[in-house]
Amino acid sequence: MERINGCMTAMVTPFDKDLQVDYQGLESNVEFQIANGISGLVPLGTTGEAPTITDSERTKIIETVVRKAAGRVPVIVGVGTNSTDKTIRYSKEVKDLGGDAILVVSPYYNKPTQEGLYRHFEAISNAVDLPIIVYNIAGRTAVNIETQTLARIAKLRTVVGVKEASGNIAQVMDVISQLPKDFAVVSGDDNLTLPVMAMGGKGVISVVSNLFPRMVSDMVRLAISGDAEGAKALNYKLLPIFKGAFIETSPVPIKTAMNMAGMPAGGVRLPLCEMLPHNLERLRGILSNYTELKIDSTNNP
């Protein structure tokens, strides 16, 4: 696949009323994303509730997204776990099923050292011939991938970029300035996309683009083309939902918002649960300001 850039959507996994995967809804979401200019699809990440997805569901989700995308945009599948062997097994499955790349989060809970982190990515790179995007999100994994360590990881033959979701702008600047120019740094935080791109980032793996693929994609394209004022205008228009999508643990708010807009999303699996009533009303108030959406007040999230 080409180098990582643009707006790629961290896709939700839609469920039906019994919290079974809604594969028809997933197909609909894929088509909606591609029709609205998205640059890539990222199923089975944090937003896709990967920890609660069974292995058989995982296989069918990958098959569904790859088949429906039909080569129109890259499919970058989340495979990261806190077991190197399991991550390699998932990565090989993506290769077998026709995925274009893998998104590998740093191992959570185990709290590996920086050397352990390097060896984890080294083992995956040696085992699977697919482009790897490293996913650094210390808020969920308890361990930050330090810039020095990422520089080592970036030298591995299949590592092409990083989804940087540390929330630390100083660290992002270090990464962009110290790593090779062809190493893609993309934002993992919607509200930091434009600042990251202003410093040399290549785009975003976005949560909010589940709901607003055209608007987020346009913002990223304007930033890439050098239209700073146009990108800034869209950034500020999107800022309320950039914040609203994270007033509770993601993907609860974005799935709730999609339900309000009549899009395939459904509920979330335990240990996640529905939003608190006051946050639900805050989110509904935010969405009411976007005329692009048809929010039905009778829609139950």
Confidence of residue 296 (pLDDT cuts 50, 70, 90): low
Instruction: List the chain domain ranges.
Output: 6-232
**Domain 6-232 annotated CATH 3.20.20.70:** yes
The alpha-helical segments, DSSP class H, found in the chain are: 23-35, 55-69, 84-97, 114-127, 138-141, 147-153, 169-178, 193-198, 213-225, 228-244, 252-260, 277-287
Catalytic residue flag (residue 163):
yes
> Of 135, 202, 255, 290, which residue is the catalytic one?
135
pLDDT of residue 138: 86
| Residue tagged active-site, from 163, 202, 255, 290 | 163
Mean predicted confidence (pLDDT) in 237-247: 97
- Is 60 annotated as catalytic? no
* Amino acid (1-letter code) at residue 202: K
Q: Report pLDDT digits (tens) over 171-182.
A: 999 999 999 999
Q: Is the pLDDT of residue 300 over 80?
A: no
DSSP string of 201-256, one letter each residue: --EEEESGGGT-HHHHHHHHHHHHHT-HHHHHHHHHHHHHHHHHTTSSSTTHHHHH
Tokens encoding 237? 């228009």
Q: What is the pTM of this model?
A: 0.95
pLDDT digits (tens, 9 = 90+) for 180-219: 999 999 999 999 999 999 999 999 999 999 999 999 999 9
Tens digits of per-residue pLDDT, 121-162? Answer: 999 999 999 999 999 998 888 899 999 999 999 999 999 999
